[in-house]
Amino acid sequence: MRPRTALLHLALLTLLLGVAVDPGAAQDTAPATDRDPVDSSTAASTDEGDQRLFFESVNVTRVNVEVFVTRSDGEPVSGLSAEDFELFEDGRRVEITNFYPVENRRPMGGIEPAAQPAGEPPAKKSTTASGRLTQAALIDPAPPENQRLSLIIFFDNLHLRPFNRNRVMRQAQAFLLRHMRSYDRGMVVTFERALHVRQPFTGDRRELLTALDGLAKLTGLAVQAGSERRQVIQRIERSQDGREARSHADFYAKSVYDDAVNTIDALKQQVAALAGLPGRKILLYISDGLPMNAGEDLFVLADNRFGGQGISGQLLATRYKLDRDLRELTVAANSNRVIFYTLEAAGARSHSSLSAEYGGNASSYIEIDTVRNANERQPLLDMAHDTGGLAAVSTNNFSAAFDRLANDIGTYYSLAFQPARSGDARYRKIEVKVKGKGFTVRHRRGYRDQTTLARMRDSTLATLLYGSQDNALGIELELGKPRDRGDGTFLVPLAARIPLAGVTLIGHQNLHRGEVRISIAVGDDEGGNSQVSQESVPITIPSDELATARGKFYAYAVELLMRKGRQDVAVGVRDELAGATSFVRRSLKVGS
């Protein structure tokens, strides 16, 4: 993932989009093949006098819902069938169109095709009479792309003490060694008032372990925050009246609130960057705690110290509530198929505010620590609950927390349905029920069905950021020789060739017509990303030339404005009639 802090380079990455070039121009940037490009003088436009063919674009979407079913002791329940589940959208029961059960990381039958990664032997499947895979199946057959696991380990160093972080880090390393597979994607991210990708997505456990080792050298800013809190407690105790005490609490609450908002914004940014990435996405958020109501504990202290003098501190504290920000975060996570697992690295806490240096009433300090601890745990509980994950709070048994995460990764049910309304961008609630008693059911609470434009944008960005490529249409991408403009920037020809054999064309009078949507994004080696540019391109072919055209390809050409250095280019193509998509990425070095 490229950090947002580098977006200052956007002005130098503006896309100069054009339309499809004629066959001669296309040959300048593409080697000759047995599939000649279609003449764009026909393919790119129609005369004003032509009757337009009106058609409805196919926009088939499928919503996947990971469901975790456990018994009262927390152990996962396996062996359920599609008939054991009921799925509801906004309270209305919907048909389960796809059912993919997984047990101990092995697919146990269902109607999702499993894909084997390149370079690995095919799984040997042994089935029972019912069609379920037995334990004789080869260990870890790779899942299909839309079930592939992407794990993001997010250390919130702004709200972490180094000792707490490092002991959790060691447990995280042990977890990766035991449970990470070569076909999984793992990423390590830290937040210190800015997002830092310590290790981009990789399937290599050694790279992830090395990245985690490097975190031990980083500071944890929660130590400074603890010192500031103690100083404010002293000021409140020395205050002359309630007004002065609450002003100290208010100043502190504002600082805590700003830090919490920045953290939530960073999490939103991370979640948004995962939007177009296919498969299951788990974000493990590690923190000492995040306040639901910033500074509430010190407002309580001020009220206890000075009673009814002045405006109530509890009333002042309502200005620093973060429930709305957290709700926006979990809605975004649900919409992007991201599940939060949260871990309170501080573990079981003592009453740290008790100190002889403050003076005052000990019971009051116990009260404010109780308020603070509950306040900082609530967001961790809500983030996990609302997205179908788990929270580990008020415990020092981190290995048990990682074991529960491993259970969820290894054993789950993926249900899918086709929404009645597609692409209306509204947030819709999801509910899953399981037949039988004594089961606990967890799943994401909703989703937002994105428009076609938004899905193309997100998938193109995912291709650019993570290299995830799914080239169902078989498009070919060529980058030509950069042309120096003399001002430090270069024009780079790009040609995308789309095989017409895979494009849906509908006959109308003496013409066959179709339409493709092209989306393009560019990223540089310093973390800058362009906006995703999209263009809808009509393709028109005379009916008597259709058979010949099916063996050719449609050429679409643009010039991209780039600056010197390494550049990545992602291109997405969508057949607007059939709904089929392709996404590819290429890299080049611009300038000497």
Residue 311 — very low, low, confident or very high, per pLDDT cuts 50/70/90? low
CA-to-CA dists, residue 194 to 198, 286, 322, 383, angstroms: 12, 16, 19, 21
Per the structure block, which two tokens stand in for 316? 């002042």
Q: What is the pLDDT of residue 142?
A: 85
φ/ψ of 158, rounded to 5, equals -70, -25
The angle that helices 222-238 and 242-273 make with each other, rounded to 10 degrees, is 160
Q: Across residues 16-41, what is the average pLDDT?
A: 36
Spatial distance between the Cα atoms of 384 and 289, rounded to a whole number of angstroms: 13
Spatial distance between the Cα atoms of 435 and 438, rounded to a whole number of angstroms: 10
- Per DSSP, the residues of 130-197 read TS-B-TTSPS-PPPPGGG-EEEEEEEEGGG--HHHHHHHHHHHHHHHHHH--TTSEEEEEEESSSEEE
Q: What is the pLDDT of residue 27?
A: 34
The dihedral through the CA atoms of 233, 235, 241, 246 has a sign that is negative
Per the structure block, which two tokens stand in for 278? 């296919």
Residue 34 — very low, low, confident or very high, per pLDDT cuts 50/70/90? very low
pLDDT tens string 483-498 = 999 998 999 999 999 9
Pairing verdict, β 506-508 and 565-575: unpaired
Pairing verdict, β 149-156 and 280-287: parallel
Q: What is the pLDDT of residue 191?
A: 96
φ/ψ of 199, rounded to 5, equals -150, 115
φ/ψ of 184, rounded to 5, equals -80, 160
Q: What is the pLDDT of residue 390?
A: 98
Cβ(339)–Cβ(389) below 8 Å: yes
Q: What is the pLDDT of residue 219?
A: 82
Please enumerate, as own/partner, the contacts of 29-32 that have beta carbons within 8 Å and a separation of 24 or more: 29/478, 29/479, 29/480, 29/493, 29/494, 29/495, 29/557, 30/476, 30/478, 30/495, 30/497, 30/555, 31/478
| Nearest to 114, CA basis, from 85, 145, 82 | 145
For 33-37, 306-310, 459-463, 564-568, which range has the lowest pLDDT when averaged over its residues? 33-37
- Give residue 5's Cα distance to chain centre: 18
Domains of the chain, earliest start first: 4-58+451-590 (2.60.40.3880), 147-409 (3.40.50.410)
The angle that helices 296-306 and 222-238 make with each other, rounded to 10 degrees, is 20
Residue 214 — very low, low, confident or very high, per pLDDT cuts 50/70/90? very high
Q: Across residues 20-43, what is the average pLDDT?
A: 36
23 pLDDT higher than 80: no
pLDDT tens string 523-555 = 988 778 888 999 999 999 999 999 999 999 999
Q: What is the pLDDT of residue 119?
A: 32
Q: Which residues contact 73 (CB under 8 A, 6 or more apart)?
A: none
Cβ(194)–Cβ(2) below 8 Å: no
260 pLDDT higher than 60: yes
Q: Which residues contact 307 (CB under 8 A, 6 or more apart)?
A: 242
Q: What is the pLDDT of residue 353?
A: 59
For 32-46, 51-65, 138-152, 392-406, which range has the lowest pLDDT when averaged over its residues? 32-46
CA-to-CA dists, residue 245 to 240, 251, 293, angstroms: 8, 10, 18
pLDDT tens string 389-435 = 999 999 999 999 999 999 999 999 999 999 877 677 889 999 999 99
- Per DSSP, the residues of 334-385 read HHTTEEEEEEETT-S---TT--TTT-S-HHHHHHHHHHHHHHHHHHHHHHHH
365 pLDDT higher than 90: no
Instruction: Count other Cβ atoms within 10 Å, centred on residue 536.
Output: 12
pLDDT tens string 174-203 = 999 999 999 999 999 999 989 999 999 999
Q: Across residues 15-40, what is the average pLDDT?
A: 36
Q: What is the pLDDT of residue 158?
A: 95
For 250-259, 333-342, 462-471, which range has the lowest pLDDT when averaged over its residues? 462-471
10 pLDDT higher than 70: no
How many C-alpha atoms does 539 have within 13 Å on its Cβ side?
30
| Nearest to 96, CA basis, from 395, 356, 415, 338 | 415
Spatial distance between the Cα atoms of 157 and 313, rounded to a whole number of angstroms: 29
- Per DSSP, the residues of 223-256 read HHHHHHHHHHHHHHHH-SSHHHHHHHHHHHHHHH
Q: What is the pLDDT of residue 359?
A: 52
Cβ(187)–Cβ(201) below 8 Å: yes
**3-class secondary-structure state, position 493:** strand
Q: What is the pLDDT of residue 309?
A: 61
Q: What is the pLDDT of residue 263?
A: 97
134 pLDDT higher than 50: no
The structure's pTM equals 0.81
**3-class secondary-structure state, position 456:** helix
Whose tokens are 């048990």? That residue is 400
Strand order in the sheet with 85-89: 92-94, 85-89, 427-434, 446-448
Q: Which residues of 86-101 are buried (b: 16+ CB within 10 A; e: fewer)?
A: ebebeeeebebebbbb
- Identify the DSSP state of 12: G
Q: What is the pLDDT of residue 494?
A: 94
Q: Which residues contact 535 (CB under 8 A, 6 or more apart)?
A: 17, 19, 517, 518
For 48-62, 80-94, 465-479, 524-538, which range has the lowest pLDDT when averaged over its residues? 48-62
- Identify the DSSP state of 570: E
| Nearest to 79, CA basis, from 412, 528, 501 | 412
91 pLDDT higher than 90: yes
121 pLDDT higher than 70: no
Q: What is the pLDDT of residue 310?
A: 58
**3-class secondary-structure state, position 14:** coil
Cβ(335)–Cβ(427) below 8 Å: yes
Mean pLDDT of the chain: 83
Q: What is the pLDDT of residue 29?
A: 32
Q: Which residues contact 49 (CB under 8 A, 6 or more apart)?
A: none
Spatial distance between the Cα atoms of 38 and 360, rounded to a whole number of angstroms: 85
Q: Which residue has the higher pLDDT, 339 or 306?
A: 339
Q: Which residues contact 386 (CB under 8 A, 6 or more apart)?
A: 327, 330, 333, 334, 340, 444, 445
Residue 8 — very low, low, confident or very high, per pLDDT cuts 50/70/90? very low
375 pLDDT higher than 70: yes
105 pLDDT higher than 60: yes
- Give residue 445's Cα distance to chain centre: 16
| Nearest to 271, CA basis, from 186, 327, 337 | 337
Q: Across residues 196-212, what is the average pLDDT?
A: 95
Q: Across residues 145-165, what is the average pLDDT?
A: 95
Q: What is the pLDDT of residue 352?
A: 61
98 pLDDT higher than 70: yes
Spatial distance between the Cα atoms of 267 and 155, rounded to a whole number of angstroms: 11
